[in-house]
Amino acid sequence: MVEAKKARPKKAPKKKIPVKAGEPRKVGHPLMLDAERMEVLLNAIRLGTPLHRCCDFAGISRETLRQWRHRGEKALLIPPGKRNPTDRKFAEFIGALDKAIAQAIVQAQRTVHTLMTQDVVRATPEQQRIALTAAQFFLTHRAPEDYNTKTTAELTGKDGGAIEVALSAEKAWEILQAVNSGKPIDLPEEKTDGS
């Protein structure tokens, strides 16, 4: 005799509880763009906070922000009179997002400019140091090709392979200083198995 299978009771669907702005976002489906979340995000951006931190603060994932930006850019391609309400909302979001980013940059630039242009002749040593740091920041970011202090070097071994080096800490430090200053480097002779 074959027993009939009992039907499983259906599970109740999970309730979606919206995450409030300012609370961490759990991974899941993107949230709809709402005015409160958008304002929290834009205020954080205006402060100059990195975008990924702004997303965390607003309770959205970085992927959600990327999707919102993509939808907004697509909406901007539609003539303004032909946009539906959702397209208008995303297009307005892109404009507000770009403006918030620009506001943070301009505010930071204003601060750097103020510090950089203060009268350093009558300034205290601390004020002179701050002005010098601001001027250095300005120059290295505005004209990095002329004022960049970083050196990029690519090193390869024989036939373009990996380099195998055994050095003392002192010799390694000496080589790093030479690379940084642009001086010639005195490397130890390569040992071969035949010698």
pLDDT tens-digit profile of 64-81? Answer: 999 999 999 999 999 999
Residue 97 CB: number of other CB atoms within 10 A?
A: 20
Q: How many CA atoms lie within 13 A of 168 on its CB side?
A: 4
pLDDT value for 11:
66
User: What's the length of the chain?
Assistant: 195
pLDDT value for 44:
94
Report residue 194's pLDDT band, with 50, 70 and 90 as the boundaries: low
Rounded to an integer, what distance in angstroms lies between the CA atom of residue 115 and that of residue 43?
A: 25
- The domain spans of the chain are 35-116, 151-188
Q: Kindly state the helix (H) or strand (E) to which residue 174 belongs, with its residue range.
A: helix 169-181
Contact 118, 126 (CB under 8 A): no
User: pLDDT tens-digit profile of 95-146?
Assistant: 999 999 989 888 888 888 888 777 877 888 888 888 888 888 887 877 777 7
Tell me which of 84 and 15 has the higher pLDDT. Answer: 84
